[in-house]
Structure 1
């Protein structure tokens, strides 16, 4: 007990550092991870991930990731455009990445096992010089 009292700051430091190491795992919204554009491309190529853009239709028409499907955030619950296989990875995209986080939580509730959020959204995809298209 004397050792604990004399070295309380070491125990405190160990507990705080352990908490900081666990924080990213707890803050992922139940397993939905953020992926970089390069990691998203790997998921698409290796695991046949599906790209879902949760932007509003007007935003999607302005610019979107090539090959993505537009399913606005508000219509995720009843959408028929989501993959039937809920074990496939799903990469969620929006202009900045904030709506995609909410969409990932919704997909988790719907039973999807691997929702991923594109960190930085469409802006990060564009910055990585990956293909973007515009709707007519």
Structure 2
């Protein structure tokens, strides 16, 4: 949790509470995931393989679960009303966080990458 606290303290104070809530939820729900900071993002890994990453911008929180996962949950992203690209999902600061969508992405990646031996999918 120390790494997460350091990350939160390093972002704009107006986003800290929201990020703390989100990241605490992940740590509590998925205690086996390892938080890491790479490429200025806080990300979570499982047995050395990437599961999901988060970054902040002025207008939104970005969740990056890899493009395969975005394709897998695309209809759920649309239902949640989030803007997205091939690589990220943008959650506006004023919008609610759809935790069921995050759960679906994280669990898909844990399952789909259970035997993955590389950081990224090949």
TM-score range, shorter chain: under 0.3
Please report the TM-score for the alignment, with normalisation by the length of structure 1. 0.26
Structure number, greater radius of gyration: 1
Higher strand share goes to which structure? 2
Structure of greater relative contact order (alpha carbons < 8 Å, 6+ residues apart): 1
Report the TM-score, using the length of structure 2 for normalisation. Answer: 0.28
